[in-house]
Structure formats: C-alpha cells, structure tokens
Structure 1
Amino acid sequence: MNNVKRSEIAEVIYDDVMLMTETVEMDRGERVEMMVDIYDSADTVRYHDLRTNTERHQPLQHTGSVSVKNRKHRAVEVCLCLVCVLLLTAVMMLCVYFTTERNQLLNHINNLTEEREQIKKKNDELQRGICKQDQRADNFKWTYYNFSCYYISSEKKSWSDSRRDCQQRRADLVIINSKEEQEFLQKVVGNDHFWIGLKKTEKVWKWIDGTTITKGYWKDQSQSSGCALMTSSGWEALPCWPSYGRKYICKRIILKSA
C-alpha cells in the first residue's frame, strides 16, 4: 500500500518536474524568440537611422558641390569683367593718344603750310623784284609770271638773232609748258607776232631744249614752215629765214622754293 502511494507520488512529482521543465524550456524559447525579435528590431532601427543619416548627408554634399561650382562661375565672371574693363581702358587710352597725336600732327602741318606760304610769298616778292630790276634796265620790257621772268621785245629780229639776244640777257626763247602759260602770253602779245622757242627739225617740231611737243596750240593745221610765232589766237608757222624779222619773247626761269 505504501509502495503504491510512493509510486503515485513519485509519478506526480516527475510529472510536475517535467511540466516545470517544459515550462522553463518554453519560457527560454519565448525569451530567445523575444531576444531575436529585439535584435531584429534593433537592426531595423539601426538600418533606418543609417539610411536616414545617409539621405540627410547626401543633400549636404550636393549642396556643397553646387556652392563650389557657383564660386567658380563667379570667379570666372569677375575675371572676364576685369579683362573687359582693362581692354576698354586700353582702347580709351589709345583713342586719346592717337587723337592727341593727330591734333599735334595737324597743327604741325598747318604751321609748315603757313611757313611755306610765307616763304613762297617772300620768294615771289624777291623774284618780282628781280624782274623789276630788269624792267628798269630794259625800259620795263620784263614781266613776271609763275616763277619766271619774261622779256617782251619791241624790236624785230630773225629767229636765230632773237634767240642770241635772249641768251645775252641770261634767258632763252620761251618754252611753253602749260595751257595757263599759253593763255598768259596770248594776252601779252595782243595783236602782234612774237618768236617762241619752237622749231621744226627733220620734219618734227621740237623745243629749243630738244623735247618734242606733246600738245600744240596752233592757229591752223598747216605747219609746213620751220619756226613758230605766238599770236593772240594761237601759234603760226613761218620760215626761219634771216630776212624774216619778228618780235620775240625771252624767258628766264627763277629757281622755285621748296
């Protein structure tokens, strides 16, 4: 009887122990599961915080790079502005320099022109004075025109004798170099005829200095004779015979001023 009771008590105790063991194991399993859940939650929180921090720092880095680029762009703009200012300043200085130089050059040219005109005027007066001296010596037969003195004869000679007389007066028979000179002499001769320094040699009309005429002022187209005469209406041709005496025009060229 006692043995049966002991056996029953032992079984009850064993059952209780097993129950307690299972309970402990269940509690331990629940703890392990709870610890796993806690660690999982912690990892999730850490991952979320890490991701949040990463996302938070990324805009800061992007903002920093944008700021660096803006500073670079501003530096380039400032440099370009400085270069433009320097170029503008250089252009303005060059304009001022060249304007000043131009004004000085124009003033210098004007001064030289005035001095040249004064020298020309004095030289012209001197040359007129020379012609006037010849006029007094030759009964006012000399006249002045464009840096030359002209002797207008009143006596008649052959063409050769006329030239010889001009040479004795430190001149020669007139050579006409321009239309203006031709018109001037046409007014001087009036209605008379005067030998000029033009002669036909070997069927060619040449001036006494050996040059061939390039333009003639002939009165008509018939120039078969050998020496030329000046008239108020143009040139005429006449044989160079010694018996043909005419008045004549001598010309003395006065050295022009520079």
Structure 2
Amino acid sequence: MDSEDRIEKAVDIYISAEAVRDMKHKDKKDFDATITEAPKHRDNSTGIKGTDGVKTRSSTAAVVCLLLVCVLLLTAVIVLCVHIHTKTTNYTQERQQLLINMTNLTEERDQLLIQNKNLTNERKLLIFQTDNLMNESNRWKSEKKELQVYFANGWKYFESSLYYFSSDTKNWNDSRISCKKKKADLIILNNKEEQNFVKNITGNSEFWIGLTYMEDGTWKWVDGSNMTTGLWESSQPNSPEKEKCALNHSPGCADFPCNDPFKWICEKSFF
C-alpha cells in the first residue's frame, strides 16, 4: 500500500478503537446505572424487592426485636411482682407471728409479775411470821424464866393461869388481901375442868375461893360475874344469910362463915 492509504487505514482503525472504547465505557455506565436503579423497581417475575424490601425487612426485624425486649421486660416485671408478692406475704405472716409471740410474751410477763408479787407477799408474810416466832420464842424464854420463878415459890400452872395454894389459914378477907399482895385474887372457878384441877391438888382439904353472897340474894365472884350452877355440892348453899363466903369443898363448893380460918387459893392470869 502506498503511504496515503496506510494513513487512512490507521485513522480508521484508531477511530474504530475509540468507538469501541466509548461504547464499552457507555455500556459499563448503563450497566452500573441499571444495577444501581434495579432495586428501586420490582421484578414481577421473581418477586424480589429492591430498597423497599430491605427497609421492610429491617423494620420487621426491629419490631421483632422490640417485641422480644417488651416480652422480656414484661416477664421480668411479672417475676418481680410475684417475688414482691411472695415476700410481702411472707413478711405479713412473719409480722402476724411476731405479734402473736409478742402477745404471748406480754401475757407471760404479766403472769410472772403476778407470781413475783405473790412471792413478794409470801416472803413478807414469812418474814412477819418469822419475826413473830422469834418474838414468841423470846417471850417464851422470858416467860419460862418467870414461870420457873413462880414454880420455885409454889405456884401451879393450868390453862394460861397461875395458882397459889397457901399452907397457912386465914379468914376470907385476909386471904384475899394476901392474894392482892401477890398481884392476884382469890380463885374463880370457871368450869368443871378447872375445879377438877384444883381437886387433884387439894384433895379433901378446904380452901377459900373468890365467891361471896351479895345482899341482892346472888352469889358473885370477885370479878363481879354471877355464880353458875353445877359447881355446888348437893344441898349447898344451905344458909347463905349466915355463911356468906364459899369454900372449895369436896366434891363441890359449899358456903361457910367468912370469919372461919381456912387455907386459900390465889389465881392470876399469866398471859
């Protein structure tokens, strides 16, 4: 080929190469644009979504996650409520049990206070009784010494009274004076037991007793009390107008003239 032809061929080849290159470049842009814009349109034949489908799937996933979180939160709240209710119930039961225990303890305390008060009163009573016993013991010791003195001087003891039986004789008035000097008085026979006590000591002997006939026609003891029946001998008193004083005469009492000399019995209360 000549040089001119070669130049034209070279130009044509260059132009053809530029065209192919431009077409490829254009095709690539169109393809990229197609790929970029394809998700925006739905392919009815395949059912595949584009960007809307991706967004929908993302929204669905978020909703599902939110629902799961809500379910978890609700479950946690329910569990917490059940736990709190159980604890509250237990606390209520424990509180009621504590109240019952407190009531029982209060009752026991009150009972102990009552028992303590009773024991205190019993202790005071025992102390009082002990003091009395000590006083009685001390008094008895003192009285025992005193009795020993009386016994040494011829006195006899019977039912809380001391009795002195004289060995000499005097009339009724002088006999009473002798008893007064001993801080006593002529004996008063109150009952059969006392009369029997005197008889066991005097036997058949006669002793003046503290009984006289009064102008009003009654027999009275030296303390002013009236003579009771049952102490006289049978047929006694037989002449009270002349025999106005009484003797302890076996087996009972008898009236005698007050100026006759007889032994006498003095009596004094020991307690």
- Normalised to the residue count of structure 1, the TM-score between the two structures is 0.52
Deviates more, 1:157-166 or 1:177-186: 177-186
Q: Deviations over 1:153-211 (max 9, x none)?
A: 11222222211111122221123456654443333323322222122322222221212
Change (3 A) 1:134 1:191: same
Name the aligned partner's letter for residue 167 of structure 1: K
- 2:56 corresponds to which residue? none
1:1-258 paired onto structure 2 within 5 Å: 86=103, 92-134=108-150, 136=152, 140-177=153-190, 181-201=194-214, 202-213=216-227, 217-220=231-234, 222-224=236-238, 225=240, 226-230=244-248, 233=251, 235-243=252-260, 245-254=261-270, 256=271
Name the aligned partner's letter for residue 173 of structure 2: S
| Offset at residue 221 of structure 1 (A) | 6.7
Unpaired stretches in structure 2, ≥5 consecutive residues:
1-88
Q: Secondary structure of the equivalent of 1:163?
A: helix
Q: Secondary structure of the equivalent of 2:267?
A: strand
Query: Hey, what's the Cα distance between the residues in 2 that align with 1:106 and 1:95?
Result: 16
Name the aligned partner's letter for residue 155 of structure 1: D
Unpaired stretches in structure 1, ≥5 consecutive residues:
1-70
Instruction: Give the number of the structure whose alpha-carbon radius of gyration is greater.
Output: 2
Q: Deviations over 1:37-88 (max 9, x none)?
A: xxxxxxxxxxxxxxxxxxxxxxxxxxxxxxxxxx9xx99xx69x958973x6
| Offset at residue 152 of structure 1 (A) | 0.9
Change (3 A) 1:119 1:181: farther
Change (3 A) 1:106 1:170: same
Q: CA RMSD in A?
A: 3.8
- Normalised to the residue count of structure 2, the TM-score between the two structures is 0.50
Q: Is the 8 A contact 1:124 1:147 kept in 2?
A: no
Q: Deviations over 1:206-241 (max 9, x none)?
A: 2212122457534447334333333564x3121233
Query: Hey, what's the Cα distance between the residues in 2 that align with 1:109 and 1:181?
Result: 37
- Percentage of identical aligned residues: 27
Q: Is the 8 A contact 2:233 2:254 kept in 1?
A: no
Change (3 A) 1:192 1:102: farther
Aligned pair count?
Answer: 175
Query: Hey, what's the Cα distance between the residues in 2 that align with 1:247 and 1:231?
Result: 12
- 2:83 corresponds to which residue? none
| Offset at residue 249 of structure 1 (A) | 0.9
Q: Secondary structure of the equivalent of 2:259?
A: coil
Q: Is the 8 A contact 1:195 1:248 kept in 2?
A: yes
